[in-house]
Structure 1
Amino acid sequence: MNALTISLESVIDLTDEQFFQLCRKNSDLRFERNAQGDITVMAPEGGETGMRSASITTDLGIWNRQTKLGVTFGSSTGFKLPNGSDRSPDASWILKERWEALTTEQRSRFAPICPDFVIELMSPSDNLKVTQAKMQEYQDNGARLGWLINRKDREVEIYRIGKPKDVLQNPSSLSGEDVLPEFVLSLAEIW
């Protein structure tokens, strides 16, 4: 199943609270909303992609537990980006000071913040151009580092704030650079 996008323009303008409640009442589905208010119903991950996504989040979480530099999030976490869209990257991380600057109420909803680091792991049902646009949106909204992992083509697109994307062919590992000091993601189990 591919993702389904519903345009609500001129029909209804969901408030942030209404969108949050829609997501909560349909917790077996995964929604995202772009800056224009269009809602995308995301297809669930298949077992192969889900297993690899969990591995990525685990590695990021272990690194973060050791460094205590920030907060790690899984694929079901929603963020309200500065441009107004609501996104849920497959894995993400926010610098501790930025996360702690949010109020308890902000942290309990779709936090109004763009993660410092995001990962999107392509599923067979994902559209590359749509996912690339999402990665560009993260970068435009302040993500300092992003990885788009395309298993099918064994490529990784690296997005850095203020720089053009880099494309790596069949890398064996990825570096967290200065955003995630000393974090290295081995891709042996991802490919």
Structure 2
Amino acid sequence: MTANALHPGSAASDVSRHHGERRPAAIASPQGSTGLGGNTLAQIVEENCPGTQASAGVVIEHLDAQAGTWQFSMDEGQTWRAIRTDLINRDGNLGLALDCDARLRVLPFGGHRVSGVRVAFHTVQRRHGQGNGSYRAYASDEREEGCSRTVTLVLGLSAINGAPPAVHVPRPRNKRALVQRAAAAAGAAGTSLSGSMALA
């Protein structure tokens, strides 16, 4: 089940501010994860924050590290980069800057049943340009012009990873019914044959 909760306010403390940008390394998308294409950040914001004005990018401030391994893609799911939750979840104001067309997904830990995961972010009105996909410092209380306040969502996995692709499973055939149908067809053919011989 998906439960949504909106909580305005900063998700990170004001202990320190980190400067500079760090860019995570890209990893190949495993073939077995084709069902986890991830939703775009634009789709996540639009579906779960209907009151939020249209934005060009987001800065992710917190991700539920207990849920699994978080990844993002900037090329429509062709390659995925691991998100350093240890960087964005610690004290300070360091977030992951992503344009709204980037995709987000979480790969749950084995044996873990996850019903909802926490995501905190704020939107920005301009695209990040060269900073897209990098870790960068953000203002905690006094945001730049065009930045929204922090929003915290509790989302089900399908709201993040997207619905799994539909798989067509052919309906199993009832062998007994097929045998009975064949016998009935053979019986009808035998009756018509004997009738034609009697007429001759």
Please give the range of the TM-score, normalised by the shorter of the 2 chains: under 0.3
Q: TM-score, normalised by structure 2?
A: 0.27
Structure with greater proportional helix content: 1
By relative contact order (CA 8 Å, sep 6+), the higher-ranking structure is 2
Greater Cα radius of gyration, structure 1 or 2: 2
Q: TM-score, normalised by structure 1?
A: 0.28
